[in-house]
Amino acid sequence: MNKQVFAGLSGLLFLLFFSVGAVGAPAAATEKKPAAHKAAPAPPLDTIILRGDHSTARALKDLVKQYEVSKQGKITLQPFSTVSGLDAVSAGTADVAGSARPAMADRIEEKGINFYPVAWDAVVPIVSPDNPVSNVTLKQLHDIYLGRVNNWKDLGGPDSPINLYAIAPPLDGVEYSARLLLFHFGDQAVAAPRLYVNTEKLEEGIAIDPHGLGLSTFSGVMTNTKVKMLSVEGAHASVATIADGSYPMYSAMYLASRDDGKQHEAVEKFIAFSGSETAKEILRKDGLVPYGDVPDLIGKQDSRVAFFDSRIRGTTMPTTAIAATNTTPVSAPNATAQSLQRIAPTSERTLEAKDRAARANAEKADGTDN
């Protein structure tokens, strides 16, 4: 073979060899690696609907926020009215109701609903900061709501009419709790011509009316400089006076649900959270007394009924401050039992009061027969 031809063929083979190598090299470099294992997505958090009165929704908003921040669940707040929340739970269109009052025992829609106490708050009479009156007695409140007292001069104020404000939706939590204390019946009819849709709107009305008077909650207005809280029987509402019972118009706040609700487990989880130390700190910051912090308050319910009756009706019951006594009155046992049944239907004190009432009624019947 010609040397020139051989050299040409050798060069061609050399180029071909390195061309194949050059083409093959990137193939190894671009070889796909096994896909990394992706973590399974976290299951969606349960969402529950909490519907109820504005007072409860306002008081618990920080608790709800922390519950969601801690990724324990989601809560849709629907503040409207007490009855709408309880009826929605009864109908299954809401999972839990927020209520500033206890159950109404003879109301069909509330049968089968469990009321879980979360915290203690206080019902407070509020007026405009321009109103010079600073205190009101239980008797005065009782008579104002019945229309028997209608001028501020009867409370040591100016000679001007008392413009009484109340909540329009029936059986409102704050109104019901106050009337339960003053009249023994939460659905007592009252002489309140000025009606508002919720406590927040009522507070707005009071703020601009120097002659106005209404009821709200301590937690709701403790930082509201546009209204003034009146003391009751000389006692000012505060976390301390709620906790020791020396402010007489303290009241419990509840979460209410059904055992057969479709989100029962999620609701139970939230209710359990409301009793945790984290939740208690939030409640205290918002002007509430965690229910579990002051178990003695339940034990004072019968003496509180006695105190209210002595101030309002002039009965021969003890007139010492509620916090200073744990005695059990023997007078008006039926009123005591009825009040406790509404406030704490399953407590030991309630059962004792019902037993006393039964015995008193039996003794009265025996005396009549003789």
Same domain for 334 and 218: no
State whether 201 and 315 are in the same domain: no
- DSSP strands (E only) in the chain: 47-52, 74-79, 96-99, 114-127, 135-136, 163-167, 194-196, 212-217, 228-229, 231-232, 250-257, 289-290
221 domain residue, yes or no:
yes
The sign of the torsion formed by the CA atoms of 358, 364, 365, 370 equals positive
Give yes or no: residues 354 and 245 share one domain.
Answer: no
Are 120 and 157 found together in one domain? Answer: yes
Same domain membership, residue 257 and residue 317? no
Q: Is residue 14 part of a domain?
A: no
pLDDT recorded at residue 337: 55
Could you tell me the CATH number of the domain that includes residue 271? 3.40.190.10
Parent domain of 311:
297-369
Q: What is the pLDDT of residues 47-76, one digit of tens each?
A: 999 999 999 999 999 999 999 999 999 999
- Please indicate, yes or no, if residue 332 is contained in any of the structural domains: yes
Query: Looking at the structure, do residues 189 and 313 belong to the same domain, yes or no?
Result: no
Tens digits of pLDDT across the chain (370 residues): 555 544 454 554 444 444 444 444 444 445 555 555 565 565 566 899 999 999 999 999 999 999 999 999 999 999 999 999 999 999 999 999 999 999 998 999 999 999 999 999 999 999 999 999 999 999 999 999 999 999 999 999 999 999 999 999 989 999 999 999 999 999 999 999 999 999 999 999 999 999 999 999 999 999 999 999 999 999 999 999 999 999 999 999 999 999 999 999 999 999 999 999 999 999 999 999 999 999 999 889 999 999 999 999 997 444 343 333 333 333 345 544 554 554 455 444 455 556 656 655 665 565 544 4
* Boundary residue ending a domain (276, 294, 312): 294
Please check whether residue 42 lies inside any domain of the structure.
Answer: no
Say how many domains are in the chain. Answer: 2
How confident is the model at residue 315, as a pLDDT? 73
User: Using an 8 Å Cβ cutoff, are 215 and 174 in contact?
Assistant: yes
- 128-141 pLDDT tens trace: 999 999 999 999 99
- Residue where one domain finishes, among candidates 269, 294, 319: 294
Do residues 356 and 259 share a domain? no
In our burial notation (b when 16+ CB lie closer than 10 A, e otherwise), range 218-228 reads: bbbbbebeebb
pLDDT (0 to 100) of residue 342: 47
